[in-house]
């Protein structure tokens, strides 16, 4: 499938994987709708995309708020008339050991990493069903398969994203031609670790951070691959590890 002129909503587009994916897809001719909470970062990215001849719209939205996600889709429809693809990328990873009972951080992860994905899907689905085509890409993680220190809750959220993706695919792909892909990266060099407040986890992860991680652009390429297959092909999962990661 050619993504030229496809309208693609990307959550968490203000940094890391979301930003790199927006740049890649816009460079390949897609119209990208950049969403997150940090307006300045999104406007900067929009400018970069437009300087390169691409098309972008900025819509500020918090994925944990249903009304924001509905507004995100409504603004996209108002501007471009339709939406073809949703990339549910926004996520947080405040890792901590369970015994520390950082329950506010657990809740945040559930709200952003799981409910944020549900809110995105609920907002966009009526349009994709009406179009009888489309693609939903959810960013899960290798954490859906593998526990790592401090990751009990984070890994659980990513298992939920992976299994929700499979449920979506089985319900939507045969009936409506809507493809669903779960992207499962290992360690990627982004700001994701900045939300960790548990010093013991930070100590444990210090060694791991010495390895060469994936770059956000590597994940953007994987997403592009999943999106550009012929319509008969659904890429269910893309599991990507840094060469140096166990």
Options 80, 145, 147, 154, the catalytic residue: 154
119 binds ligand NDP (CB under 6 A): no
16 binds ligand NDP (CB under 6 A): yes
Which of 7, 9, 10, 11 contacts ligand NDP by CB under 6 A? 11
17 binds ligand NDP (CB under 6 A): yes
Q: Of residues 165-204, which lie at the interface with ligand NDP (CB under 6 A)?
A: 185, 187-188, 190-192
18 binds ligand NDP (CB under 6 A): yes
Phi, psi of 15, deg, nearest 5: -165, 175
Whether 220 contacts 15, CB under 8 Å: no
Nearer Cβ to ligand NDP (131/245): 245
What is the number of other CB atoms lying within 10 angstroms of the CB of residue 47? 12
Nearer Cβ to ligand NDP (10/179): 10
139 binds ligand NDP (CB under 6 A): yes
In the residue annotation, 225 being an active-site residue is answered as no
136 binds ligand NDP (CB under 6 A): no
Nearer Cβ to ligand NDP (194/228): 194
Q: Please state the closest distance from residue 115 (CB atom) to ligand NDP, in A.
A: 10
CA 208 to chain centre: 23
The two tokens of residue 194 are 């900045």
Whether 183 contacts 226, CB under 8 Å: yes
- Give me the residue label for tokens 């526990």: 147
Q: Please state the closest distance from residue 68 (CB atom) to ligand NDP, in A.
A: 8
The two tokens of residue 48 are 């970069």
Whether 190 contacts 16, CB under 8 Å: yes
**Is the alpha carbon torsion for 178, 179, 184, 189 positive or negative?**
negative
Whether 156 contacts 96, CB under 8 Å: no
The two tokens of residue 136 are 């939903």
15 binds ligand NDP (CB under 6 A): yes
Question: Residue 237 pairs with which residues in a beta bridge?
Answer: 182
63 binds ligand NDP (CB under 6 A): yes
Residues taking part in catalysis: 154
| Binding positions for ligand NDP, rule: CB under 6 A | 11-12, 14-18, 36-38, 41, 62-64, 89-93, 112, 139, 141, 185, 187-188, 190-192
């Amino acid at each position: 499938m050619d993504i030229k002129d496809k309208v693609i909503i990307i959550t968490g587009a203000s940094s890391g994987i979301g930003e790199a994916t927006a740049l890649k897809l816009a460079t390949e001719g897609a119209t990208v709708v950049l969403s997150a909470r940090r307006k300045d970062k999104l406007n900067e990215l929009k400018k970069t995309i437009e300087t390169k001849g691409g098309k972008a719209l900025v819509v500020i939205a918090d994925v944990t708020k249903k009304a924001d996600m509905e507004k995100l889709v409504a603004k996209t429809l108002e501007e471009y008339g339709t939406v073809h693809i949703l990339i549910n990328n926004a996520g947080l990873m405040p890792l901590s050991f369970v015994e520390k009972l950082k329950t506010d951080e657990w809740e945040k992860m559930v709200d952003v990493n799981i409910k944020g994905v549900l809110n995105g899907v609920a907002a966009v689905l009526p349009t994709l069903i009406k179009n009888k085509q489309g693609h939903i890409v959810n960013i899960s993680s290798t954490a859906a398969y593998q526990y790592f220190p401090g990751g009990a809750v984070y890994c659980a959220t990513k298992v939920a994203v992976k299994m929700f993706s499979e449920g979506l695919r089985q319900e939507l792909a045969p009936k409506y031609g809507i493809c669903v892909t779960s992207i499962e990266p290992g360690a990627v060099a982004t700001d994701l670790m900045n939300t960790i407040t548990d010093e013991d986890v930070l100590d444990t992860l210090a060694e791991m951070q010495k390895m060469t991680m994936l770059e956000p652009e590597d994940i953007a390429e994987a997403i592009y691959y999943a999106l550009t297959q012929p319509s008969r092909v659904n890429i269910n999962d893309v599991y990507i590890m840094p060469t140096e990661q166990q």
